[in-house]
Amino acid sequence: MTNREIGRIGLSMAINYFTIEGYTVSLPLNDTQWYDMVVEKDKQFYTIQCKSTMTEDDTISLRSCGGTKGTVYDNIINHPELDYLFAVNKNLECWLIPVSAIIESGNTKTIQLRTVLAPSAHPKLDTTIYRVQISNKA
């Protein structure tokens, strides 16, 4: 699976999640902005960056890379105005993490998505509390 295909999984899962939760989802016409979507509910707007991973340890890169050499061109922590990171792992489990919590944690390159916090773990960011479920509300 290519990085582009993995990225599309994250974006499609985010669209699914926010739609089911009753948000209006708006997608930009290009991919050169610092967010992947804007969602709105009850006249409140939120910017969302989507990331997905297929790694065994569920590590999400906070950086965006592109081009033929995979050059880093941006990082979530460079955008404190960004509201949320929507993250998806290889098992299609999802997290909705406030970007402010990532910035406060001091993480600058990666975070690890966790479903259960290991007793011996001392993470800078406890992602277990931000796990979300895509439900069938119909």
Residue 96 lies inside a defined structural domain of this protein: yes
Establish if 68 belongs to a structural domain.
yes
For residue 93, what is the domain's CATH number?
3.40.1350.10
Query: How does the average pLDDT of the chain come out, rounded?
Result: 88
Residue for token pair 């919590």: 101
Range of the domain at 40: 3-132
| In a domain? residue 126 | yes
DSSP assigned state of 63: E
72 located within any domain: yes
Domain count, the chain: 1
Report the distance separating Cα 82 and Cα 133, nearest Å.
22
Rounded (5°) CA angle 57-89-93: 120
Q: Is residue 138 part of a domain?
A: no
Give per-residue pLDDT as tens, 91-138. Answer: 999 999 999 999 998 888 889 999 888 777 667 888 999 999 987 765
In a domain, 82, yes or no: yes
Answer whether residue 18 is part of any domain.
yes
Please check whether residue 137 lies inside any domain of the structure: no
